[in-house]
Amino acid sequence: MMVIMKPGHTQTEFDEVMRRIGEAGLEGHPIIGVERTVIGVVGLDRLHPELADDIEVMSGVESTVPISSPYKLCSREFKGDDTIVDINGVKVGEGTVSVIAGPCAVESEEQLMATARAMRERGASMLRGGAFKPRTSPYSFRGLEEDGLKLLAQARQETGLPVVTEVMSEATVQLVAKYADVMQIGARNAQNFFLLEEVAKARKPVLLKRGMSSSMQDWLLAAEYILAKGNRDVILCERGIRTFETATRNTMDINAVPLAKEMSHLPVIADPSHGTGKRRLVGPVALGMVAAGADGLILEVHPNPDHALSDGAQSLTFEDFSSLMARLAKVAQAVGKRMERAAVAA
């Protein structure tokens, strides 16, 4: 439920309400707005029939309202206005299109630095690159691990681009958090609930991919795990789902973008690289996702895709990326958005 405080309530009245929520074994998550303070009350789904009535008569409280959806803190019912996630000055969800670009995996200093410079010059707002790679086969390249994270930090230092990288295990959350600006949860871990909670506690923005078999509700409940641990900086990412279709790597669910934005206040971006698996489809699908309301894109780009150690077939060349950015700017304008600027170089 939500507790709506009266305008002009006192700090003591607010503290009393929070204390009463805690006493019931639940957690209060306040949103302090300009005009209103609202407290989202979440916790175990036990019945607290008396709690809403008790709180409603407390001093400083205007009303209590149940949240009907199973996901609470990430719902539009709880927070009507869009959440903007600020990553070192890059604002995702502020009526802009943010482009996160870079290689699937960090492979070498030369590869990453060349890509980071090219992405910065061509207008990306953040750099991606996996240091811990979830690979279907244990015999595939699985990433440079901490050496890869160090290279990402070096690329950020030189270009000013914030870095986005995947965290795959609870054991490496602190390590990844030391280097990353945004912690990516991949599709395969999208419902790894202990990992979600551990990542939330690192207090860094989280990019949460949709699981390949996650329904919209599964996806939002995964986000809820992060919000419930007190981390509100979550970016949702549609990256295609598993269907009967085998002509493409995944089936990009364009419905998911406007629908997620209707169901949740969190920013929503799209990953047409994994969504299609095919370089020539990435551009058209990227444009479609932005036209449908995506707040940004995450794109795989490689200096030499044919020699990439992972996901070369879906990686753009620098030239492909430049031409896509020019077309994207037009679509962004058509839907009343502007391209998010790149971060200021360090």
- Rounded to the nearest whole angstrom, what is the least distance from the CB of residue 129 to Mn ion in the complex? 10
- Rounded to the nearest whole angstrom, what is the least distance from the CB of residue 54 to ligand PEP in the complex? 44
Comparison of 298 and 332: residue with beta carbon closer to Mn ion: 298
Comparison of 37 and 276: residue with beta carbon closer to Mn ion: 276
240: left (phi over 0), alpha (psi -120 to 50) or beta: left
- Rounded to the nearest whole angstrom, what is the least distance from the CB of residue 211 to Mn ion in the complex? 15
Nearest residue to ligand PEP, using CB? 186
Comparison of 27 and 253: residue with beta carbon closer to ligand PEP: 253
- Rounded to the nearest whole angstrom, what is the least distance from the CB of residue 337 to Mn ion in the complex? 26
- Copy the structure tokens of residue 337: 């958005």
Convert residues 263-282 into a mask of x (bound to Mn ion by CB under 5 A) and - (unbound).
Answer: --------------------
Span from 72-80, 150-158, 182-190, 307-315 in contact with Mn ion (CB under 5 A) = 307-315
- Rounded to the nearest whole angstrom, what is the least distance from the CB of residue 219 to ligand PEP in the complex? 12
Rule CB under 5 A: is residue 226 a binding residue for Mn ion? Answer: no
- Rounded to the nearest whole angstrom, what is the least distance from the CB of residue 277 to ligand PEP in the complex? 10
**Chosen from ligand PEP, Mn ion, none, partner binding at 239 (C-beta under 5 to 8 Å by type):** ligand PEP
CB 105 within 8 A of CB 78: no
**Chosen from ligand PEP, Mn ion, none, partner binding at 134 (C-beta under 5 to 8 Å by type):** ligand PEP
Comparison of 29 and 249: residue with beta carbon closer to Mn ion: 249
Rule CB under 5 A: is residue 104 a binding residue for Mn ion? Answer: yes
Q: Residue holding tokens 């971006």?
A: 269
Comparison of 17 and 180: residue with beta carbon closer to Mn ion: 180
Residues making contact with ligand PEP (CB under 6 A): 104, 130, 134, 186-188, 209, 239, 271, 274
- Please state, in angstroms and rounded to a whole number, the distance separating the CA atoms of residues 170 and 179: 16
Comparison of 55 and 252: residue with beta carbon closer to ligand PEP: 252
Comparison of 27 and 311: residue with beta carbon closer to Mn ion: 311
**Chosen from ligand PEP, Mn ion, none, partner binding at 48 (C-beta under 5 to 8 Å by type):** none
